[in-house]
Structure 1
Amino acid sequence: MAIPVVLLMCLLSCKKDENNDTKTNYEDGVSTVVYDLAGDTKASVADGVEGKERRPFNSFFFRLSAKLQSWDSSAANKQSNSWDLAFTGVYNAMVYVNNGADAVSPGYGGNGKGLIIAVDSPYSKVTVAPAPEDMETNNLKFVGWDGYPQAYNTGWFFYSLSTHLAIPIKNRTFIIRTAEGKYAKLELLNVYQGNPPAVTDLHWPAPYFTFRYYVQEDGSRNLRTP
């Protein structure tokens, strides 16, 4: 049965408005919001996936202040301060900070000062970074699958062993010290294309990252956003 033109236009308009509302909820006039940043979309964990090949996912690097993505995996780049976050592992979902003194960091051996801690609080409610010594004590080093390994990491998503889908954890914010020593806050929102509120399809396009962050450029620990 054909859908009347007026009804069709309404449906499309409502859908568009809903998408705009979702984006507006992230936009606060101060934070940077990144939508659908493509990871290594040509890699797969299984054989026979159309358009993909079964192989490890190539890591990429992201500099917060410059909003810049890089695929340069050379030792020189890893040990530089040209990036703050490294998206690694399966579906690029393990996110490391650039810390030259930390042997697990891709930046090991460089001058990066990166730290990351988790706060179970909505993004807008996180208004100040902890003292440097508290950041050091509670540094997670990386974030990914929540509870894996349980004694080492507080993650940004749940992973279902039955559905094999990643479910982002709501109201978990990460406080970061960047490679250059500035403080920032980060909310990782989705790994699936289009930032869907829920995913039931194992073949939904991924990895496409939606996240937002705020860097305090004056060097203080003030992370207040509207």
Structure 2
Amino acid sequence: MKLRILIILAGVLLAACGKDGDDKPTPKGPASTLISDLQADTGASVGEPEEGKEQRPFQSLIFSFSTKQSRLIKSKADSIQYLKNTDWDIAFTQEYNSYVVVNNGTFTGTPGSGGPGKGAMVIVEKPYDQVTEAPSDETFENNGVHGVGWDSGNGYGWFFYSLSNHICVPVKNRTFVLRTADGKYAKLALLNIYKGNPPVVTDLFWPAPYLTFKYFVQTDGSRRLNTSN
């Protein structure tokens, strides 16, 4: 009788352990990289000179997904040394570094023009965590864009901009799938241009540009883009 009770108790314990194990969430994939408050060209101004700023064009900021390193392109010498290669993947350009472009040597007028970069970008109307696979190369070629910035109602940007209050508001649930400069696949969520990644901005003079974004690069060469965050 005692032996029978012990066997039953052992079975109950094993079942309980198995249930606990089943309740543990299964990771969906590798982790994404979050970049917070990346300082861009905070010394430029598009309007009247402000304290600590000067009225001039904004210098482009390039960023490498693999090294997480960035660099402001301040001169022609910088352009020659740092732009014509595949050491960077995206550049933050134009006013307040708000226009994000890929590194592609065939895109005239972009920082990577004339270089060996193979970058491309496709806009996907899905939340970042729901984007699990990169599209075909044919989709990149036929539906790809050079870059994204202000969405004026055409569905091609990453933020809305009001001409009345001059504040940028990020577009929700829009993800950008990329082919990187060296041909890998990645996904990108552009989250904010204001310091501290505030959920709401009401102050025209909130410190900017301080860029917050999230990305994942599939290093095995496949198109799988499922992530755990």
- Code of the residue aligned with 1:101 in structure 2: it is T
* Equivalent runs, 1:42-191 vs 2, <5 Å: 42-72=43-73, 73-147=78-152, 150=154, 154-191=156-193
Give the superposition deviation at 1:29. Answer: 6.1
TM-score (ref. length: structure 1): 0.83
CA contact (8 A) 1:104 1:141 kept: no
CA contact (8 A) 2:177 2:186 kept: yes
Task: Give per-residue Cα distances to partners, 1:114-151, cap 9 Å, x unaligned.
Answer: 00011111100000000111111111111000138x5x
Structure 1 runs of 4+ aligned residues shifted over 6 Å read none
Gaps of 5+ in 1: 1-27
In the other structure, the counterpart of 1:40 is 41
Task: Give per-residue Cα distances to partners, 1:133-174, cap 9 Å, x unaligned.
Answer: 1111111111000138x5xx7110001000000000011100
For 2:100 and 2:148, how far apart are their aligned partners in 1? 5
Name whichever of 165-174 and 73-82 sits farther off. Answer: 73-82
Give the superposition deviation at 1:192. Answer: 0.2
For 2:81 and 2:136, how far apart are their aligned partners in 1? 31
SS in 1 for 2:205: coil
TM-score (ref. length: structure 2): 0.82
Name whichever of 188-197 and 28-37 sits farther off. Answer: 28-37
SS in 1 for 2:138: helix
For 2:110 and 2:123, how far apart are their aligned partners in 1? 17
For these two proteins, the number of residue pairs brought into alignment is 196
- Code of the residue aligned with 1:215 in structure 2: it is V
For 1:48 and 1:101, how far apart are their aligned partners in 2? 36
For 2:123 and 2:101, how far apart are their aligned partners in 1? 13
Task: Give per-residue Cα distances to partners, 1:14-64, cap 9 Å, x unaligned.
Answer: xxxxxxxxxxxxxx9610000000010111112241111111111110011
SS in 2 for 1:74: helix
For 2:67 and 2:141, how far apart are their aligned partners in 1? 25
CA contact (8 A) 1:96 1:105 kept: yes
Gaps of 5+ in 2: 1-28
